[in-house]
Structure 1
Amino acid sequence: MRVALVSEHANPLAAVGGVDAGGQNVHVAGLACALAALGHEVTVYTRRADVDEPDTIPMAPGVTVEHVPAGPPEPLPKDELLPYMPAFAAHLARRWQSERPDVAHAHFWMSGLATLTAADLLGIPVIQTYHALGTVKRRWQGSADTSPDCRLAIERDIGQRASAVIATCTDEVKELTAMGVPVERVTVVPCGVDLDLFRPDGPIMRHADRNGYVRILSIGRLVPRKGVDTIIEALRHVPGAQLVIAGGEADDDESLRLGKLIAASGLGARVRMIGSVERADVPTLMRSVQVVVTVPWYEPFGMVPLEAMACGVSVVASAVGGHLDTVSGCGMLVPPRRPRVLAMVLRDLLVRPELRASLAATGVRRARSRYGWPHVAAQTESVYRSLIGERLDGLATAGG
């Protein structure tokens, strides 16, 4: 099968950790490689963000990344990319006229807009994965949401026009249904985790300050909605614990804001901000702590708790989005933006090593049984094949 994955702002080759480089980049890369391992020919289409990026570049056996000329060849915030989607769609249409994919799988709403525009006249089935919904973002961020005003209407239209929608968690299905997306077109297929990289056995990062503290880790992009400030505020009520914050850069706005909060809380001796960590080193870091905490206000799926579970580390996560599927029953769920509740759960967990061990073991089993990329790719492939079968049946009927 020839598969087109369209990911307008999230280049699978990009380094993870920037404001617009996170779970979607990891997801598209993992899915592309896993589909290729099943024998499919995969091309990932993403916007050219650097004048020196080649037109195409092989990423893995069976996977090619194509850089699409749409807008200036420089990094731009994703919320500024909508005006360039007609050019993105025109490029896809030209390419697909000569090399028609069997299916086109769009990732994020602007990718869906471009993909549907290009695929309509060619009769290519389109699968949509949103990764994040404007309705949820607007609900939690309000006036701080920088998405274009038309996003919600376009997302609704995409969901009604796409051949199929893949939701990454059950909570997303409720949101899609409320938007008017036909529920019969929606299939839940979760994000995956690299079980060769994220595993319980392996090296453990050495911490320079051997101070006897139990360690809590927060890792991910440093943006306000990730709730790192909630963890800092909770730490004031968790004596004997050290918080390690991985992600961001020392001079970015959120790092500076969190640094001021740490100082004002008198926690300078118990919080370490270590900046970005190479992806290959993330499992080593995770295995070096007692608990991984991730408490965003909202989270479409949430890769961090799943990766920690696969590493055999106990998890505390906010009871939102994908966490309700992944963490429930094998980790601790807390309401977002409730530092005192988080502190209470952490105090209990940190003095009960047997509970941490039990949760960690259950988490490993769940990660390995449900979320490995071969399993996720096979579920995705099943959606693709159902659409190709429908298209072929329709052509046979039309031909008499």
Structure 2
Amino acid sequence: MSRTLSPAGRVAMVSEHASPLAALGGPDAGGQNVYVAQVARQLARKGYRVTVYTRRDSTGLPDRMTLIDGVQVVHVPAGPPAPVPKDELLPHMAEFGAFLARQWAADPPDVVHAHFWMSGLAALTGTRGLGIPVVQTYHALGTVKKRYQGADDTSPPERLAIEEAVGHECARIIATCSDEVAELRAMGLPEDRVTVVPCGVDPDQFAPSDRPRTLPGGRRRLLAVGRLVPRKGFDRAIRALAGIPDAELLVAGGPEADLLGAEPEARRLHAIAGEYGVTDRVTLLGGVGRTRMPRLMAGADLVLSLPRYEPFGIVPLEAMACATPVVATAVGGQLDTVVDGATGVLVPADDDHHHLGAVVRGLLADPDRLGRLGAAGRERVLAHYTWDRVADGVARAYGAVSSMPSLSEVVR
């Protein structure tokens, strides 16, 4: 069908469980929320008009609100107006998609960008018969989750089939790293419709600090950041700490600090710290706000990012932007972002805590090397991983499947 495009290009983003307005650190709030918010902001600054559709999870939310000039957030009535774990949202996607269909039949965007597999399902429902191209970013793949979690995977049993169907039906897939491209290929999805655009970081928000890193008494600070779930590997960092006697470990993530006592993973980590005799050197901070996180990153000697698997992983980028070296497991997007020996050190995902401890001890004993790694990390972020560069890549993917104006036309 033929449509007249808006002068700047109109983008609809669908992010069914990950609102750009959400506080981070909860079980379903993390990197996807950051990605959606930042890419929407950058596209708006380039002249595009962006509407983000996310599920209403509270009765107090307005139907529509402004994130910044050029970015609107629409709260879609789909399921109860209350928090629902993302793995329980599939039954509400038909209602979500029907809402999108009504909206877009009356006022169609130029392109739809779906985030996560259920958003892809809702987006394809909403665009059916309208001729609007859908670009899909999975952020995490069910095949990978099933491989690593097995019987502990709480995803709906329909997930794998729906993910594959979405990949075949959408106009383009944006993968965030080379490892994801290999996973998509293994799913039988057409590689010629896959574009790699990484996640990013704000280098003005996450920046080096002039404050000395070493704590009073000569103790060194290690930092681990992420959702408080077993796959993030905080237990490995705690076990390794037993072999690093002059260091403390801060773990940032999860609910607010005064609620950690009711968090199963927090209790498990406290028990491991007791077992390894490091309770006095491990601090679970709970959820940390975005304004405080850069100071934590910049004040650490090392950031440990040790997930068993990771679709992309923004934490290493944030650390590198702060000129803080990273010790990371060689999985997912960390294989792309962390250059082993240049911006940090990669360790095997199944590495034992004794070797991990030795790696960390060696780095802490060489301040000159830490300085070189940190400086190279900052340079790498500025060259490849700013949100402005990410938004340029996303916009090119949109242009490949739609008649949206090019970036040069938008900024004229």
TM-score (norm 2): 0.92
Whole-Å separation in 2 of the counterparts to 1:214 and 1:204: 11
User: Take 1:32 and 1:57, find their aligned partners in 2: how far apart are those partners?
Assistant: 14
1:24-103 residue pairs with structure 2 within 5 A? 24-103=32-111
Question: Could you say which residue in structure 2 is the equivalent of 1:276?
Answer: 287
RMSD over aligned Cα atoms = 1.6
1: CA distance, partners of 2:138 / 2:175: 7
Give the superposition deviation at 1:363. Answer: 0.4
Match of 1:396 in 2: none
Q: In 2 relative to 1, CA 167–308 (structure 1 residues): closer, same or farther, beyond 3 Å? A: same
Q: What's the secondary structure of 1:165's corresponding residue? A: strand
After TM superposition, the structure 1 = structure 2 runs for residues 220-259 of structure 1, keeping only pairs within 5 Å, are 220-249=226-255, 250-251=260-261, 252-259=263-270
CA distance in 1, matches of 2:385, 2:393: 11
Where 1:121 maps in the other structure, the secondary structure is coil
1:204–1:284 contact (8 Å) kept in structure 2? no
CA distance in 2 between partners of 1:285 and 1:69 (Å): 37
Q: Which runs of 5+ in 1 are unaligned?
A: 392-400
Quote the residue 1:385 is aligned against: 399
Deviation, 1:121, is 1.0
Residue 129 (structure 2) aligned to one of 109, 121, 134: 121
1:373 and 2:387 aligned: yes
Structure 1 residues 49 and 94 mapped into 2: Cα distance closer, same or farther (>3 Å)? Answer: same
The aligned amino acid for 1:80 is: E
1:192-250 C-alpha deviation (Å, 9 max, x unpaired) = 1112201114678997xx34211100111110000000111111112211111111231
Q: Does 1:305 align with 2:305?
A: no
Contact 2:17–2:55 (Cα < 8 Å) also in 1: yes
**2 CA distance for matches of 1:381 and 1:126?**
13
Q: Which whole-Å CA distance do the structure 2 matches of 1:348 and 1:205 have between them?
A: 17
Q: Distance in 1 between matches of 2:404 and 2:184?
A: 23
SS at match of 2:326: strand
Work out the CA distance in 2 between the residues paired with 1:56 and 1:163.
28
- CA distance in 2: counterparts of 1:118 and 1:293, whole angstroms: 41
**TM-superposed deviation, 1:337:** 3.8
Tell me the TM-score normalised to structure 1 length.
0.95
Unaligned residue ranges in structure 2 (runs of 5+): 1-8, 406-412
Partner of 1:333: 346
- What percent identity do the matched residue pairs reach? 53
**Structure 2 residue aligned with 1:215:** 221
Whole-angstrom distance in 2 between the partners of 1:62 and 1:201:
33
Residue 409 of structure 2 corresponds to none
Task: Compare 379-388 and 86-95 and name the one that shifted more.
Answer: 379-388
Aligned residues between the structures: 389
Q: Is 1:322 paired with 2:333?
A: yes
Q: Which moved more, 1:337-346 or 1:5-14?
A: 337-346
Decide whether aligned partners of structure 1 residues 146 and 108 sit closer, same or farther in structure 2, where only a CA change above 3 A counts: same
Q: Deviations over 1:288-332 (max 9, x none)?
A: 110000100000000100000001101000000000000024210
Q: Which runs of 4+ in 1 moved over 2 A?
A: 201-207
1:147 partnered with 2:161: no
> Whole-Å Cα distance in 2 between the matches of residues 300 and 10 of structure 1?
16
Report how far residue 341 of structure 1 moved. Answer: 2.3
Q: Which residue of 1 aligns with 2:185?
A: 177
The residue aligned with 1:112 is 120
Say whether the 8 Å CA contact 1:227–1:337 is kept in structure 2.
no
Residue pair 2:213, 2:301 contacting (<8 A) in 1 also:
no
Which amino acid is the alignment partner of residue 256 of structure 1?
R
Paired letter, 1:335: P
